[in-house]
């Protein structure tokens, strides 16, 4: 049985991570599993991603469209070895982290507060 994760905005499986509504209006971002170098689990706050529905105020990060983000407390910053890092807020952070660990083998660190997004 392969580990995976899926919610309304994220789909993680053996073939990679699909981030829905990454590019507006409808574009999805697809990241092969091998490209995920590491991830940082962060606490989402009022100025640190919670009210960011889509996009960024910080050119080093990019948040996909997630209108439910304001009710979430945990996010992940993905390191892909590129200047811009995806910022995602899964519906079930623990299940997403477990699937990410199982599928990528990438280190996942606790990073405290999210960056200003």
Token digits of residue 45: 């706050």
What is the CB neighbour count within 10 angstroms for residue 41?
19
In terms of residue numbers, what domain contains 59? Answer: 5-113
pLDDT at site 63: 96
DSSP-derived 3-state class of residue 88: strand
**In the predicted model, what is the mean pLDDT of the chain?**
94
CATH number of the domain to which 99 belongs: 2.30.29
* pLDDT tens-place string over residues 54-78: 999 999 999 999 999 999 999 999 9
**Count of domains observed in the chain:** 1
* pLDDT tens-place string over residues 10-37: 999 999 999 999 998 779 999 999 999 9
pLDDT at site 110: 94
pLDDT at site 26: 79
């Amino acid at each position: 049985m392969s580990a995976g994760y899926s919610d309304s905005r994220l789909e993680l499986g053996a073939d990679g991570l699909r981030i829905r509504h990454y590019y507006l209006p409808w574009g999805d971002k697809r990241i092969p599993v091998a490209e995920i170098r590491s991830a940082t689990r962060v606490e989402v706050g009022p100025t640190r991603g919670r009210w960011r529905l889509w996009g960024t105020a910080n050119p080093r990060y990019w948040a996909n469209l997630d209108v439910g983000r304001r009710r979430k407390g945990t996010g992940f910053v993905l390191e892909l070895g590129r200047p811009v890092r995806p910022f995602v807020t899964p519906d079930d952070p623990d299940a997403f982290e477990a699937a990410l660990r199982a599928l990528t083998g990438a280190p996942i660190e606790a990073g405290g507060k999210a960056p200003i997004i």
